[in-house]
Amino acid sequence: MNSKAIVTIIAQAKSGVDYGTHGAICPCCGKRARVHTTKKSEGGIRIRYHKCKNPDCLLQQIGVDIKSVQCDEAA
């Protein structure tokens, strides 16, 4: 993986991925990430921070959190 790809993946993890029916997916390896912090829902939007569960994943190895955004359909 080249340095430009690594910077892009880290930026995507920090800016936020969608939180879907199966939780958040790691932008680096594509595996499900586990929640470690959930922020209070404000205006129908909930922010969570995840850690990748895959020990071979670059984001897990360097300790980068993955932000996810969940929008309430009713809001």
Give CA separation, 14 vs 19, 40, 55, 65, 74, in Å.
14, 18, 19, 7, 26
Per-residue pLDDT of 26-68, as tens digits, reads: 999 999 999 999 988 888 899 999 999 999 999 999 999 999 9
* Domain residue extents for the chain: 3-71
pLDDT band at 75 (very low <50, low <70, confident <90, very high): very low
Look up the pTM and report it.
0.86
